[in-house]
Each structure stands twice: as structure tokens, then as C-alpha cells.
Amino acid sequence: MSQEIHTGVWIDWSHGRVLGATITMSARDGALLLAFIATFVTVVATRLWRIVTFACHQILASGGEHDGLYYQRQLILRNTPTPMAATGLFLRQAWNWRGHANYPLLRTLPWAIGGVLYVAVFAVAAIFSSRISDGATQFRLLAAGDCGAFEPADRDALQQKSTYDNSMASVYARQCYTNSSAASCNSLPVSSIRWTGTSVECPFADDICAGSTGASAFKMESEVINSQSHLGINGADKYRVDYRRETVCAPLITGSRFARDVNGSEAETLGWEDNVLTKYLYGNLESRNYTHIYNKYGQNMHIGYGTGVYVSFAHRTDNYWKPIDALALDHRDITLMFIAPNSVLHLHQNDDPVFGANIPVVTEDGTTYYQPDRYVSPIACADRHEICNPNNGICTSLVGSGEIMSSAREERLELDPVQLATSFLEAQELVAELTQLKLPSDQWKREMGRLFADALSKLQHQVTEYATGPSIAVPGSIFKAWSASANSSEADEQVQDAHEAMCKSQITRDAQGTLNFSILGLSLLLAVGFVIIGLSFVLEPTTIFLQKKSGYGATKAKRWERDENLQVMRMLFELRYAGRWKGRTDSFPTTISKDRFRYDADYLGEEQMYQEIRHKAGGVKS
């Protein structure tokens, strides 16, 4: 089963259309986007600093007389492009103005601390911006593979695929249904499906059930299985279905009514001596007048447990096995399992109704073992299924798998075509199909519980397999329901279309190195960032224009223009009559003519600092 992750835009409907909007990227593209986000946050931080310093400068700007520290602080706010640079200047200012201004520490240290905090906040933001993908859904959308229901080409292909699927489901259930922390448990939408087990009365006729009366059976019920959250069929709320399965198992007696030795001509026909074969009579197997046959030589062949399984589906007339009246139940699939211990011996006596062993066997070295009480121990299970519409709370009755789809189509359930297509996948597997592996010598209820967990595990894997293709390469074909007969009714065509849509609706937790990004998160980040960037460029000229136009805050506007570095330089030169300047309110003041001047002294104000050498023709030469 090749699972390829879909890259691009999709919606995780478990979070809704807005919060669930997701973009999945490859590892390379995701790394590039993360790098862009970190850079973008840095740019936003720089431009936001410009807004902050502009606002602070304007708040503090005022006419009248001030000391030198004030003017320096205003110049730092006006001209320092980064908070770290401003922090350094404020710290140096606090140190150097000791004894030369009132409260220099109180007037500068808060600004230095503010710069440090600003840097810290955006440093954390830059770091966590690279983790923006963590806020997106943990799921990935599977790319549609060889989608559809797999149909094996022949019996051998069916057996090969069933064996593989059963083994895979069993291994997964052992690993993940008891301990979901294993790495292999992080691929399916949920690690496990919970279930409960209780002792109940035997559902079959009293004269066929073994064990104590009143609670001789074991009932297993799954939790309500949601098509989205448990099985990963991605869809809006209105397209989801709930599913529940129930299995009740009970050990059966094997007395003379149900077990007979094969003798005479019948034994000769089968090629064995008298009393070697035992027939079990729980219903005819096609044209044969027995259900199961066991060879007693199995006790001496040094082999472990073996099983035989027979299934009769409710509401079907073509069943391979037809159970006797004592086992027949309406609206239930009946599974009959024969567990043969063969050569297994027990060290201790065991009164279990299935694995009971109380016949002592003493070996040559004096060790006592106990043989099983019966050659074969039968267990019968009754399976029922239920499908619910979570949108109105209406459910089908608990029925067999052959009846569940007709029940789901009932108008009172109000399932739409997508919900009907989803239901089709959820009622296919029985506990019986997972009994081919040898059973350990253990308490029978525990073993039935393991089989039930295996069945739930297989259900999880088969739903995923519908979208991705077969789990093992065996001869067969893919049945695509949407390519069915052209004579289908409109209702059937809607269900067929829903089957096709399911090919692109399966989600998984297996990231395969891809990265998810929330489209909402990205959109908000970019929107806020671009607003800040844009505002940083228009805030200054717009504010200055309005201040001058209205007259309110005109002094503050002039202070902002005057405190710009190049304007300070212009005023310095004009103070010493160095050049003729224009652009007193521009970002870049320039000289009117091509004046050239020289800086001759070390300290401003102590002596003449600039000499102007004018060219005879009006130019300047050095």
C-alpha cells in the first residue's frame, strides 16, 4: 500500500472550513517558507520599531528650552533604525551624562530597558514563527492512489491477501491497542478504537451453551466510531456517520448430540479407520451433513493449536454454512470457530470452558501433564452492526452486515449519498476472519477480546486501503463503484460519485517529512505584517502633513524634520556659512550650487571650522 501525501491546499474538516484550511508542503518547500516567515517577522519588527520611535519622538517633542540630554534622546529616537543600537546609545548616554543633567539614569535607562524588551519579544517571535506549522492540523491528506475496493482474482489471491491483512492488523492491535506510544501507532487517524467487554447470558439455545448459566457468554462492544475522527474519512459534519459493532461469543458443548465418531463405510470413504475422525454437527456445510471434521491423530503430531472458522451471514441464502436452529439468530451474522489444541499439554489443570485440561498424563520421567478435555472446543459468536446519522441522532437497528446497508438507506435515517458511501466501508469485517493465527493457551474471553481488537484494527487499515490501494501485490482488480453500470438510478449515481470523492478524502497522521501550515495563521501573519510595514511608510508623512495643514502639532512636525541626521548636518554647515543649502524639510537637503568646503578643526565652536573657496566663475575648487 503506497501512501503518498497530497501537497497543496486542502481543508481538515474536523476544524471547520476556516480553521481547517491547510496547505501541505514538501520538506524543502516548507523549509523555504519557514525561512521566509522568519525573515518577514524580522522586517516587520524593524518597521514597527520605526512606528514606535516616531510615536515616542512626537509625544516628547515640544518647544521651549531643554537640556542637552533631551536633544540627544530625541535624535536617538529620530535616527536609530534598530532597537539594539538605540539601547546601546541610551546606556552610554546614561553613563556619560552623570553630573551634567538632572536624573540622567531615570531619563534614559527606561528607554534602554524598553529596547531590550522589544528585542527579546521579537527574538522569541522570530524563533516561534519557524514553528508556525505546529499550529496547523496534525493530519495529512493522502493522495488518491489505486482507489477502490480490491477484488482478488482467485481463491489463492484471496487467501494470500487475507493472511497478510490479518497478520498486519493483529500485529498493529498488539502494539497499539495496549500501548499507543509506539512510533508505529502514529500513522492512522487514531492509534486505537476503544471497546468494552462484559459477561452476559448466552444468546443461543440453552441446551447448546457451555459454562455456567446466567453469564456464560462474553459481549464486546466498540465505542461509537466516527467516520472522520476515528477512520479519517475527511468531510464536513453533514457527511459523517457513526458506526458501532457488537459481538457476543459463547463456548458450546460437544456431547453426543453435536459430536460423532466416523465409522464403517463413511470412514472407509474418507480413507480412515474407524474412530479416527470426529464430525461436529452444528449445521450442514453445503451438501455435507456436518460442519467440521477433526482427525484425532492431531494429538500425536506435535503441533500446536489449530482453528477452523465458518460464517453464516444474516439475510443471505447463499451461505456456505447453514447453522442449526439452536445457533440461528435473526439479524445477526453467526461465526463458528473450532479450536483444536492438538498436541498441546498443560502443566496445570484448567477448568476454562474452551481451554480446559484435566486429563492427567504421566511421562516416563514422572512429570505429570494434563491433556485438554476435548479434541475440539467450539465457540459461536453473533455479530451485529449499527450505523447512526450524528446530525439527527437516528440510528439503524443492530443487524447483520448483510442488512446494514438496506437499513442505512431508510428514509428516517436521512443519510445523504456521501454518508451512504462511507457506511459501505464500515460493515465488512467479522471477527471470524481474524482467527487464522494460532491461539495461545489462555482464558477464552481474553482470546475473544484479542480477536475483536484485531477486527477493529483491520477496519482502520481497510478504510485507508480503499484510498491508497491494496496492501500487498496479489492478482486482482480494483472495483470502482463510480464506473458502474450506465443504467444506474440518479440516487445510485450520487452514491457512486461519493465513492469517488472518498478517494481524495482520506487523512493520516503519517507526515512523511511534509509540513502543514494553517492558511488562517499565515494569512493573519502576512496581513498584520504588511499593515505594519505599510503603516510605517505612510504614518510619518501623513502625520506631518496633517500637523502642518491643521496647525495642531506643527512644532512637533518641525522637530521631527529638524532632528533628522542630514538636517542636523545641514544646520551645522549653515551655522559656519559652509555652502548654500536648500530642502530644509526634505529627507535629503542639498547645496544650491556645487559648493565645496573643508573641515579644518577638531572641535565645533572653538575656532573657525570651514573655509569656503569659491571659483572665479561661481564654482568651487579646493
Q: What is the 3-state secondary structure (H, E, C) of 280-339?
A: ECCEEECCECCCEEEEHHHHHCCCCCEEEEEEECCCCCCCCEEECCCCCCCCCEEEEEEE
Q: According to the per-residue pLDDT averaged within each range, which of 155-164, 326-335, 426-435 is highest?
A: 326-335
SS3 category, 116: helix
- Torsion angle of C-alpha atoms 597, 603, 605, 611, degrees rounded to 10: -20
Burial class (CB in 10 A: 0-12, 13-18, 19+), 260: middle
Which amino acid makes up residue 129?
S
Pairing of strands 149-152, 476-479: antiparallel
Q: Is the pLDDT of residue 618 over 50?
A: no
Q: What are the CA-CA distances from residue 439 to residues 103, 156, 217, 308, 443 (Å)?
A: 86, 24, 19, 12, 10
Q: Which residue has cell 445510485?
A: 492
Q: According to the per-residue pLDDT averaged within each range, which of 279-283, 342-346, 469-473, 563-567 is highest?
A: 279-283
Q: What pLDDT, on the 0 to 100 scale, is given for residue 3? A: 80
Confidence of residue 563 (pLDDT cuts 50, 70, 90): confident
Q: Is the pLDDT of residue 571 over 80?
A: yes
pTM for the whole thing?
Answer: 0.77
Angle at 462 between CA 457 and CA 467, to 5 degrees: 140
H/E stretch holding 260 reads strand 259-261
Q: Is the pLDDT of residue 245 over 80?
A: yes
Q: What pLDDT, on the 0 to 100 scale, is given for residue 346? A: 79
Q: Is the pLDDT of residue 141 over 80?
A: yes
φ/ψ (deg, to 5) at 500: -65, -40
Confidence of residue 348 (pLDDT cuts 50, 70, 90): confident
Higher pLDDT, 38 or 486: 38
Rg (CA), the chain: 41
Q: Which of 153, 2, 146, 147 is nearest to 475 (CA)?
A: 153
Confidence of residue 443 (pLDDT cuts 50, 70, 90): low
Q: Which of 381, 354, 358, 337 is nearest to 444 (CA)?
A: 354
Per the CB < 8 A criterion, the answer to whether 341 and 214 are in contact is no
In 497-591, beta strands by DSSP E: 507-508, 515-518, 581-582, 590-591
Q: Is the pLDDT of residue 228 over 90?
A: yes
In the numeric block, which cell numbers belong to residue 99? 553630573
182-221 as b/e, with b when 16 or more CB fall inside 10 Å?
Answer: eeebebbbbbbbebebeeeebbbeeebbbbeeeebbbbbb
Q: According to the per-residue pLDDT averaged within each range, which of 485-489, 523-527, 584-588 is highest?
A: 523-527
In the chain, the percentage of residues whose pLDDT exceeds 90 is: 37
Tell me the β-bridge partners of 255.
none
In the chain, the percentage of residues whose pLDDT exceeds 70 is: 88
Per the CB < 8 A criterion, the answer to whether 429 and 162 are in contact is no
CB atoms within 10 A of CB 50: 18
Q: Is the pLDDT of residue 420 over 60?
A: no
User: What is the C-alpha to C-alpha distance for residues 182 and 171, in angstroms, rounded to an integer?
Assistant: 12
Confidence of residue 432 (pLDDT cuts 50, 70, 90): very low
Q: Is the pLDDT of residue 613 over 60?
A: no
Q: What pLDDT, on the 0 to 100 scale, is given for residue 130? A: 67
Q: What pLDDT, on the 0 to 100 scale, is given for residue 347? A: 80
Confidence of residue 507 (pLDDT cuts 50, 70, 90): very high
Per the CB < 8 A criterion, the answer to whether 369 and 361 are in contact is yes
SS3 category, 390: coil
User: What is the C-alpha to C-alpha distance for residues 384 and 399, in angstroms, rounded to an integer?
Assistant: 5
Q: What pLDDT, on the 0 to 100 scale, is given for residue 189? A: 92
Q: Is the pLDDT of residue 461 over 50?
A: yes
Confidence of residue 600 (pLDDT cuts 50, 70, 90): low
Confidence of residue 467 (pLDDT cuts 50, 70, 90): confident
Q: Is the pLDDT of residue 609 over 60?
A: no
Confidence of residue 566 (pLDDT cuts 50, 70, 90): confident
Max Cα distance, the chain (Å): 143
Q: Is the pLDDT of residue 426 over 60?
A: no
Q: Is the pLDDT of residue 487 over 70?
A: no
Choice among 32-36, 465-469, 612-616 with the minimum mean pLDDT? 612-616
Confidence of residue 415 (pLDDT cuts 50, 70, 90): low
Confidence of residue 441 (pLDDT cuts 50, 70, 90): very low
Q: What is the mean pLDDT of residues 412-434?
A: 46
**The dihedral of CA 518, 519, 520, 522: what is its sign?**
positive
SS3 category, 48: helix
Q: Is the pLDDT of residue 216 over 70?
A: yes
User: What is the C-alpha to C-alpha distance for residues 231 and 305, in angstroms, rounded to an integer?
Assistant: 33
Q: What pLDDT, on the 0 to 100 scale, is given for residue 94? A: 86
SS3 category, 479: strand
Q: What pLDDT, on the 0 to 100 scale, is given for residue 387? A: 92
